[in-house]
Structure 1
Amino acid sequence: MNITLNGQAHSAAHPVRLSNLVEQLTGRQLNHDGQPADGRRLGIAVAHNSEVVPRKQWATTGINEGDDVEIVTAVQGG
């Protein structure tokens, strides 16, 4: 399945959920509620087809052929 991930073409196994992509990109396992299994802060936000998806919905939001996903990291600074 082909999607756009952070503006780049990306091939993903089907079916895939937002939580799977977050785990791939961060290298960290997530609980069903989107919280990191290690208890540390994750500091990211996810948009699916230009709509921000709440963390609690990552595990239930499926990705389809041609979808656009943006996963952004919060950065502190000034």
Structure 2
Amino acid sequence: MTPVLYNLSGLKCPLPVIKTRKKLAAMASGTLIRVDTTDPLAVIDMPHFCNEDGHELVETEKTENGHRFLIRKR
């Protein structure tokens, strides 16, 4: 399954998590989403968000400008 790409570069905490939560709410269970962020706190916030909401954090990757998260919706 090809992940939905969601670029949240330039947004600061808590917007990346808020926008990701809203986007996932409109998606089918099992869908993959790849979220790009530049917020340094996202590396802490995104795993916490996935844990709290029950989504699977499949992969976290450091990028040149921030982090990329691959999330599977529960």
Question: TM > 0.5 between the two?
Answer: no
Indicate the structure (1 or 2) with the bigger Cα radius of gyration. Answer: 1
Q: Is the helix fraction higher in 1 or 2?
A: 2
> Please, what TM-score do these two structures have when normalized by structure 2?
0.32
